[in-house]
C-alpha cells in the first residue's frame, strides 16, 4: 500500500511553497556558517518552525548556536536552535544568557527545550522529509501528498473509501479512470496450526484435530463450489471449506456459513495456499470479502471430541 504522507501542517499550496524556501535557506545557512550537520529538518520539527527568540512564523530561519561556537559551543543538536535573521544578528556571538538577560522566562524555556529529546511523531516526520530529499536526488519524479489531500481528491471525484481507491487518490490527481473495476484482495489466512490438541479456557484438552489434513480430497481453506440439487440447502455455494473427517463439510460463503454439506457435492475451485483471494467491487462494497475467508480457528470443525 502506498504511504499516505501527513505533513505536520494541514495541506495548502501556499504554505508548502513558503515552507520549501524556508527549509532550503535554513540548510544553506547551516552549511555556510558552521560545520553543523544537516539537521535543519530535525530542528524545524523540534522548535515548531518558529523563531525561538521572538516566535515569528513563516520567515526564513537560521540555525543558531545557543552557546556560541566562538566561545566553545558545540555543534550538538542540544546546542542548536532556530532564529530569524533579525534575532540572529541581534544575538551575534553573545551567549544566550547575556542575550536574554532581561527575559529569564524565555531563557529557561529555550534551555529546557534544547535538552528535550524530539517527540516520536516529530522524529518520524523528520525521517520522512529526509527520505523525500534522498528520493528526489535520484532524479526520478517524486511527489508527496497529505492524508487530507487524498480525502479531498476522493470526495471531489465521488469515489468511495477503500484501501485501493485511497492509494489511487494520493497526491495530485485530476481524475481517476476505470476505478469501478473490482480489486483483487489477498489476505494471509495461514495454513492451520501445528498444535493438534484443542484446549479449553483452563488449558485442558477439549478435542483433538486429526493427524491428516486432507479428507476426501479436500483440506480446510480450499475454495470449493458446492451444488445442492434439493432440500433446505438447495443452491450453489461458493466459498472456503472447513473439512471434517466424517465428510460433512462447512462452507463459508459471502452470505454466511453453510453447515453440513457432503463432500460429494463439492468441486474444488482453488487449493488453499495460505492466502485468501477475493474480488471486491469497490462501487458496491468491500466489506464482504472477509466473510469469504475462514478464520484461523476454522479447522476446529474437523475436531474429534476427545
Ligand atoms: Zn526572531
Stretches in the chain below the pLDDT threshold 50: 1-37, 285-291, 293-306
Give the distance (Å) from ligand 1 centre to CA of residue 62. 10
Give the distance (Å) from ligand 1 centre to CA of residue 299. 67
Per-residue model confidence as pLDDT tens digits over 277-298: 877 766 554 444 444 544 434 4
Is residue 92 within 8 Å of residue 61, measured between CB atoms? no
Give the distance (Å) from ligand 1 centre to CA of residue 55. 6
Give the distance (Å) from ligand 1 centre to CA of residue 162. 45
Q: What is the pLDDT of residue 121?
A: 67
Q: What is the pLDDT of residue 297?
A: 41
Give the distance (Å) from ligand 1 centre to CA of residue 135. 32
Q: What is the pLDDT of residue 187?
A: 83
Distances in whole angstroms, Cα of residue 299 to Cα of each of 118, 205, 214, 277 = 48, 16, 11, 18
Q: What is the pLDDT of residue 215?
A: 94
Give the distance (Å) from ligand 1 centre to CA of residue 49. 11
Give residues whose Cβ lies within 5 Å of ion ligand 1: 51, 53-54, 56, 84, 87
Is residue 217 within 8 Å of residue 266, measured between CB atoms? no
Per-residue model confidence as pLDDT tens digits over 153-186: 999 999 988 888 888 899 888 888 888 888 888 8
Amino acid at each position: 500500500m502506498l504511504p499516505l504522507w501527513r505533513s505536520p501542517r494541514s495541506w495548502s499550496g501556499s504554505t508548502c511553497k513558503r515552507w520549501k524556501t524556508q527549509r532550503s535557506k535554513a540548510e544553506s545557512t547551516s552549511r555556510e556558517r558552521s560545520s553543523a550537520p544537516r539537521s535543519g529538518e530535525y530542528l524545524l520539527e523540534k522548535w515548531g518552525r518558529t523563531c525561538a527568540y521572538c516566535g515569528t512564523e513563516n520567515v526564513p530561519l537560521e540555525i543558531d548556536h545557543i552557546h556560541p561556537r566562538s566561545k566553545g559551543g558545540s555543534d550538538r543538536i542540544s546546542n542548536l536552535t532556530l532564529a530569524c535573521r533579525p534575532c540572529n544578528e541581534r544575538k551575534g556571538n553573545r551567549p544566550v544568557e547575556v542575550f536574554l538577560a532581561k527575559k529569564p522566562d524565555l531563557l529557561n524555556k529555550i534551555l529546557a527545550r534544547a535538552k528535550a529529546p524530539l517527540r516520536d511523531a516529530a522524529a518520524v516526520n523528520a525521517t520522512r522529509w529526509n527520505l523525500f530529499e534522498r528520493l528526489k536526488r535520484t532524479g526520478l519524479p517524486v511527489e508527496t501528498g497529505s492524508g487530507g489531500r487524498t480525502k479531498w481528491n476522493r470526495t471531489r471525484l465521488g469515489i468511495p473509501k477503500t484501501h485501493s481507491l485511497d492509494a489511487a487518490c494520493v497526491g495530485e490527481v485530476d481524475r481517476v479512470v476505470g476505478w469501478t473495476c473490482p480489486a483483487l484482495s489477498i489476505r494471509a489466512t495461514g495454513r492451520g496450526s501445528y498444535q493438534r490438541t484443542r484446549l479449553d479456557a483452563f488449558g485442558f484438552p477439549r478435542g483433538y484435530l486429526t493427524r491428516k489434513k486432507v479428507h476426501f480430497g479436500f483440506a480446510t481453506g480450499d475454495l470449493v463450489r458446492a451444488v445442492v440439487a434439493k432440500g433446505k440447502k438447495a443452491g450453489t455455494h461458493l466459498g472456503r471449506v472447513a473439512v471434517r473427517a466424517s465428510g460433512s463439510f462447512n462452507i463459508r460463503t459471502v452470505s454466511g456459513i453453510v453447515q453440513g454439506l457432503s463432500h460429494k457435492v463439492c468441486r474444488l475451485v482453488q487449493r488453499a495456499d495460505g492466502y485468501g483471494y477475493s474480488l471486491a467491487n469497490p462501487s458496491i462494497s468491500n466489506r464482504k470479502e472477509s466473510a469469504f475467508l475462514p478464520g484461523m480457528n476454522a479447522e476446529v470443525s474437523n475436531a474429534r471430541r476427545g
